[in-house]
Amino acid sequence: MSYFEKVKNTEIKKDAVIMGIESSCDETAVAIVKNGREILADEIISSATEHARFGGVVPEIASRNHTVAILTATENALKSAGLTLNDIDAFAVTEGAGLLGALLVGVSFAKAVAYSTDKPLVPVSHIRGHIAAAYLADKTLKPPFVTILASGGHTAIIAVEDYYKLTVLGGTIDDAVGEAFDKVARVLGLNYPGGPNVERLAKTGQNTVKLPKMLAHYDGGEYDFSYSGLKTAVINYVHTEQQKGNEVNKADVADSFQHSAIDVLVEKAVMAMKKTGYTTLAVSGGVGANGYLRDLLKETCEKRGYKLVLPEKRYCTDNGAMIAAEGYLQYLKGNFADLTLNAKAVVPLK
């Protein structure tokens, strides 16, 4: 009997223990989560410092580091949960979106462990994984809620109507917000990863540089964003000042950029809350780790009486626990893959 014939009718357990494997970018992450809510182990081995001198993630370096780190991350996760591979009910893995070579390491590894234990292989969308981090942050959270998805690759306001039905209310028409943080970091001479470095620099600056709040009042799609123009505005400002021989206060630029990039996110999320009538707002994706965004969300939700679900910073950026959390939901539906599963550079935001 083939592997898939053996596992396709696996009995679905409500109390399932899922291993989440994530390798879409520069983090090799393996976590073990019970019932999609309780984190039993959570390991992350990052290759970020190896990319820093190149100013961004080098795909080949990321892939090679995944191959070196994935076994250690898995062994450490099992050890810290006090479990063996045979205790895992299903192996969830990010199938996309991300860097193909990097994803392939996780997908191949997940196939191997699923095959060797005769347990289901559950493909997970990285984006859905980010959104599912909210279930780890608030163990009682149930849809519906609105989430601000703000990562390096995506920016969107999404209505989570139920555990499976996501409606994208609006998204970026060009760059993602995290990408804008990374590009602005480069203009300001800051290292990769840009987001946390821009945030750090902004702490000593003032919001005094006039920058556009792109699409704050855009007629096209009410909930759409644009970050390409904001990035260009920052570049133009810095270059113009330099040409005039003026010293650029980089901290002020960082703080002003942060306000322009983030205020619109929160404004549009509030519009979405009003439209849907939902009372819970969550944040997902790496930019969710930004302190200014977190403070603004706390203030806004308190003022408007919304419940706020703010995953810990560690669970906003890439991690294996979010993949296990979403993997649990897919496991409950019996969404298992066979061994032909392939990595996908792009997965639709749906």
Closer residue to ligand KG4 in complex, CB, 43/182: 182
> Which segment (32-40, 72-80, 146-154, 206-214) binds ligand KG4 by CB under 6 A?
146-154
Q: How far is the CB of 69 from ligand KG4 (least distance, A)?
A: 17
244 CB-near residues (< 8 Å, 6+ apart): none
Closer CB to Zn ion, 136 or 188, in the complex: 136
Identify the residue among 287, 301, 321, 343 touching ligand KG4 (CB under 6 A): 287
Cβ atoms of 93 and 311 within 8 Å: the answer is: no
DSSP notation for 275-290: HH---EEEEESGGGG-
Residue 78 or residue 188: which is nearer to ligand KG4 going by CB?
188
For 244, list phi and psi in degrees, rounded to 5.
Answer: -75, -5
**How far is it, in rounded angstroms, from Cα 20 to Cα 92?**
5
- Partner touching 205 among Zn ion, ligand KG4, none, CB below 5 to 8 Å by kind: none
Task: Give me 263's structure tokens.
Answer: 């205020």
In whole angstroms, give the CA distance from residue 19 to residue 50.
Answer: 27
How long a stretch of residues is the chain? 350
User: Which residue has the CB atom at the shortest distance from Zn ion?
Assistant: 318
Q: How far, in Å, CA of 180 to CA of 166, rounded? A: 25
Shortest distance in whole angstroms from residue 224 CB to Zn ion: 21
Cβ proximity to Zn ion: between 78 and 93 the closer is: 93
Distance CA 268, CA 201 (A): 26
Q: Residue 306 gets which letter from DSSP?
A: -
The CA dihedral of 128, 132, 134, 137, to the nearest 10 degrees, is: -140
Q: Taking CB under 6 A as the criterion, which residues in 292-331 touch ligand KG4?
A: 317-318
Q: Is residue 294 within 8 Å of residue 137, measured between CB atoms?
A: no
Out of 65, 74, 151, 260, the residue judged to bind Zn ion by CB under 5 A: 151
- Scan residues 158-197 and list those touching ligand KG4 (CB under 6 A): 178-179, 181-182, 193-196
Residue 66 contact among Zn ion, ligand KG4, none, beta carbon within 5 to 8 Å by kind: none
The reply on whether position 152 binds ligand KG4 by CB under 6 A is yes
Q: Does 289 bind ligand KG4 (CB under 6 A)?
A: yes
**Count of residues near Zn ion by CB under 5 A:** 2
Which one of 120, 143, 205, 285 is in contact with ligand KG4 (CB under 6 A)?
A: 285
DSSP string, 318-335: S-HHHHHHHHHHHHHTT-
Nearer to ligand KG4, 120 or 286 (CB): 286
Could you tell which of ligand KG4, Zn ion, none binds residue 196, using a CB distance below 5 to 8 A set by kind?
ligand KG4
Region from 59-67, 74-82, 228-236, 282-290 binding ligand KG4, contact rule CB under 6 A: 282-290
**Least distance to ligand KG4, CB of residue 150, Å:** 8
CA dist 169 and 275 (Å) reads 10
Under 8 Å between Cβ of 12 and 31: no
Interatomic CA distance for residues 274 and 93, integer angstroms: 35
* Residue selected from 89, 255, 318, 326 as contacting Zn ion according to rule CB under 5 A: 318
Interface pattern 114-143 for ligand KG4 (x via CB under 6 A): ------------x---x-------------
Q: Which stretch binds Zn ion (CB under 5 A): 106-114, 168-176, 299-307, 314-322?
A: 314-322
Q: What are phi and psi of 43, to 5 degrees?
A: -115, 135
Binding site for ligand KG4 (CB under 6 A): 25, 126, 130, 151-153, 178-179, 181-182, 193-196, 199, 285-287, 289-290, 317-318
Binding site for Zn ion (CB under 5 A): 151, 318
